[in-house]
Amino acid sequence: MNKRNDDQDGSTKGFTRRGFLLTMGTGAITAAATTALPHARASEKKGVGPGEMVSLTLSVNGHRHRLLAEPRWSLLFVLRERLGLTGAKIGCERGECGACTVLVDGEPRYACMTLALEAEGTEVTTVEGLMEGEALGPVQEAFLENDAFQCGYCTPGQVTAAEGLLRDNTDPTPEEIRVGMSGNLCRCGAYANIFKAVKQAAGKR
């Protein structure tokens, strides 16, 4: 009698011992993974979830502000919507136009591309912080005297970028001014007067 060995012949229809064992093994793995899934999800909940607030302390224009913020909030959003400092403007919101430029530890930064949490422990300066009491600062005065704006929407970012440039380089060449201001766009095309204003502000400083 010729008995077929089902374990050795993979072509046999129906259940075989090998098929049974494979099925049971796959089931055991699936059960183990399903059992572990709630534990993985529980560990994920230990982080900050969507909409949850964290404590944040910002130093802006020499003043400390304590507030609750979502980790996803940009520095621009917090400055405008939580602190009421609307000098930094909403432009492209993707780091291209420079309308939202602020100084972070003296360096020009796009506030739209900086998380508010990133700015904790730094000194943030907005265009409002460049004034001397009620008087305009040297850069602001130079922009006014040289008519370095038209619609004025980009002007706060231009002024703040110029301030950052002059803090790093007190006597820039025309080429250095062009490079230093290249991250700020003026849709009105007032670049010639902007460059003159930066050069004059350098002299005033």
Which pLDDT belongs to residue 204?
Answer: 86
How far are the Cα atoms of 16, 19, 24, 29, 121 from residue 32, in angstroms, in the given order? 24, 20, 12, 5, 45
pLDDT of 110 over the 50 cut: yes
63 by DSSP, 3-state: which?
Answer: strand
Which of the pair, 9 or 83, is modelled with greater confidence? 83
Which pLDDT belongs to residue 34?
Answer: 44
Local confidence band at 47 (pLDDT 50, 70, 90 cut-offs):
low
Counting residues of the chain whose pLDDT is more than 70, the rounded percentage is 76
Chain centroid to Cα 3, Å, comes to 73
118 by DSSP, 3-state: which?
Answer: helix
Q: What's the average model confidence in pLDDT over 63-71? A: 97
β-bridge mates for residue 64, sequence order: 59
Which pLDDT belongs to residue 35?
Answer: 45
**Cβ neighbours of 137 (radius 10 Å):** 18
Dihedral sign for Cα atoms in the order 147, 193, 102, 92:
positive
Q: What is the pLDDT of residues 121-167, one digit of tens each?
A: 999 999 999 998 899 999 999 999 999 999 999 999 999 999 999 99
Nearest 5°: phi and psi at 55?
A: -75, 135
Which pLDDT belongs to residue 48?
Answer: 63
Write down the pTM of the prediction. Answer: 0.75
119 by DSSP, 3-state: which?
Answer: helix
β-bridge mates for residue 108, sequence order: 103
Among 54, 48, 64, residue whose Cα is nearest residue 117: 54
Judge whether 97 and 184 are in contact, CB under 8 Å: yes
Local confidence band at 22 (pLDDT 50, 70, 90 cut-offs):
low
pLDDT of 29 over the 70 cut: no
d(CA 148, CA 143): 5
CATH architecture designation of domain 54-204: Roll (3.10)
Q: What's the average model confidence in pLDDT over 67-78? A: 97
